[in-house]
Amino acid sequence: MKILLHTCCAPCATFVVKSLREEGLEPTLFFYNPNIHPLAEYLLREEAVRAFAQKENLEVIYGEYGLRQFLREVVFREDNRCSICYYMRLSKTAQYAREQGFQLFTTTLLLSPYQKLETIRQIGEQLGKEFGISFLYRDFRFGYRESIRLSRELGLYRQKYCGCIYSEEEALRQREEKEKSR
Ligand code: SF4
């Protein structure tokens, strides 16, 4: 079975790839993340995926950046931005998977305890129906700590915020608050 793995970043991919391989599935990575801001951060994450793929002998497909499209989709709908962000990334993944003859698609987003898994599951399954390809749902969160260990071991770049400009602001504000309360 050919499986296309939407890859948000290398650290999350470490454990998800390991887990899929244990199930007998050999994924192709699909790096498509128009949400990531700024471009310098995007390039760091892309480079980390490239390095990880080389180490693990994985094929990677790189999508276009697409920041303008992302911002057009979320502006004035910032409170609902994560659903839009999941939809954008997974629909492109499902479309590519369908066109290239994959039988399954899934995402490394399912590893993160900071993501909304139920929303991702619903969107993935809906897209699966639309594109006639199965969405493989797994709750990979039990592997989150292991992914941190693996990415440290491999010397991979680890980001400090989810990806978009809004999440960058939130993460910086939270760090500021933490420092003030010390
Ligand atoms: S917080 Fe993360 S998932 Fe939500 S919109 Fe921003 S980058 Fe996407």
Would you state the pLDDT for residue 182? Answer: 84
Torsion, CA 76, CA 81, CA 85, CA 88, rounded to 10 = -40
CA of 8 to the centre of ligand 1 (A): 11
**Alpha carbon nearest to ligand 1 atom 3, residue:** 82
Tell how far the Cα of 36 is from the centroid of ligand 1, in angstroms: 8
Q: Determine which helix (DSSP H) or strand (DSSP E) holds 8, and give its type and residue range.
A: none
26 and 147 Cβ atoms separated by less than 8 Å: no
Q: What does R_g of the chain's alpha carbons equal in angstroms?
A: 16
CB-ligand 1 contact for 66 (6 Å cutoff)? no
Q: Looking at domain 3-180, which CATH architecture does it have?
A: 3-Layer(aba) Sandwich (3.40)
Nearest to 8 by CA among 71, 70, 93, 134: 93
Residues of the chain whose pLDDT is less than 50?
Answer: none
- The letter for the amino acid at 124 is G
- Pocket-testing residue among 32, 72, 82, ligand 1, by greatest number of atoms within 8 A of Cβ: 82
Helix axes 144-153, 10-22, angle to 10 degrees: 110
Q: pLDDT tens digits for 89-133?
A: 999 999 999 999 999 999 999 999 999 999 999 999 999 999 999
81 in Cβ contact with 72 (< 8 Å): no
CA–CA separation, 174 and 153 (whole Å): 28
SS3 call for 65: coil
Instruction: Locate the domains of the chain by residue range.
Output: 3-180
17 lines ligand 1 (CB under 6 A): no
The closest residue, in CA terms, to atom 5 on ligand 1 is 82
Q: Which amino acid is at 119?
A: T
